[in-house]
Chains A and B, each alone.
Chain A
Amino acid sequence: MKESDIRRALRRIVHEIIEANKGIRNLALVGIKRRGDFIAQRIADIIKKTEGKKIPIGALDITLYRDDLQLVSEAPIIEGTEINFDINNKIIVLVDDVLYTGRTIRAAIEEILDFGRPKKIQLAVLIDRGHRELPIQADFAGRKVPTSKKEIVDVFIKETDGADSVVIHSYRKKQKDTKSGQGKTPRKTKVKQLFITGEKNNA
């Protein structure tokens, strides 16, 4: 997926969100760190452009709600959750980059409920790659990509990675599985490598 594909996908997601909720009344976005928060920001910007109104936006760090803390070799760095608005009776659209096992979303839902009682929680993702381990579905998906569990889907976005792109590449030993969290932010040199690998089997 190239930059223009991502832009179009996000625009379509915005239209679907607005259509499904008949406007943007009571709507709020919550992005899941990291990358989900930046994607949420872009969605908010597009909504601002099309509807002329800002909607509340927050960010979640689900580290403290993970169900695999015991499996991680050392305590991960937490980054802090920022939800600075009242979520009661709001329609919360959770935003993440890739939907995979659904465990991240489970944790995010639990964390949101600790902040209050929203009217609804919906889920928007840029990529749905399948292989769910929990009964969780995206309400809005930029693209559904059939993948093998051995493959890795990497989403790069300008805000953290310098450029927009989505690449799928096959499993390499040293690279941590994207959904296991820790190794998620690639170092600069690694990004380059991934782009090379990615171009071969670009989604």
Chain B
Amino acid sequence: MNLTDNMADNINMQVEIAGIKLKNPVIAASGTFGFGREYAEYVDLNKIGGISVKGLTLQKRRGNKPPRIAETPAGILNSVGLQNPGVKEFIEKEIPFLRKFDTAVIANIAGNTIEEYCEMAEILSSANIDAIELNVSCPNVKAGCVAFGNTVSGISEITRKVRAFCKKPLIVKLTPNVTDIKEIAKAAEDSGADAISLINTILGMAIDIHKRRPVLANNMGGLSGPAVKPVAVRMTYEVASIVKIPVIGMGGISSGDDAIEFMLAGACAVMVGTANFVNPEACVDVAEGIKKYLEKYNYKSVYDIIGKLELNE
């Protein structure tokens, strides 16, 4: 073992978010990693800090009409519409598989009504998962969801009510499609969120000029990928500087350097989404990239860089 290896081994990659210990600060983002099993052939799930599973609803959902995806400059637009087998099948079929691996399991939930969110939180509280991520930011479904997440009163009410049923750490995932993300984040914190994750996708549209119609069957969809990163970094910075609870940053991360930007801006952990589609090993690559950065600047722990951004005068 040479000196470099020694130093790398001394770097502490662990982070703790709302009581959940993650071996490294990289989590696969909801909707981009299925239930883990789809990627298990391509990447060692044991090397990923956590997996936020595909957004779950109380009942099975078929999702939106195709086409559900459009490629845009440095990004993609999607309108899957929360296709999933429902929370019960997730518990029966997917949790046992996920638990074979040493990685945190986060259940991302979405609903049409506050009651549905509460019921899911209650059911999942007795399931073998590490945390619940409240998806109040999906732009692709007609009823509920983002409607709860884009006003201070909406986010306060849903967070407070779900909190009462949720025995697991509660992460609230914010939508960027608001005027002031700070007041939304503060409202989530004040209403009992244990952590905040951001950003969900930015509402967008792509048009097929030859057909003179939107590319997506649903007309609009959520933009993700490198194109959204500067917006996501800015919002992560704004939120991290105003709340005391941990912030999980995401939006266009595909390398360790991308992740470092979010961590300097105040994120305790990051989620990797769209990059998984391009590179199935993206989560592991990001974790290794973070480690390399820490090594390069002689940091001993991830915590040495979290929120260490110094603004220009």
Q: Do A and B bind each other?
A: no
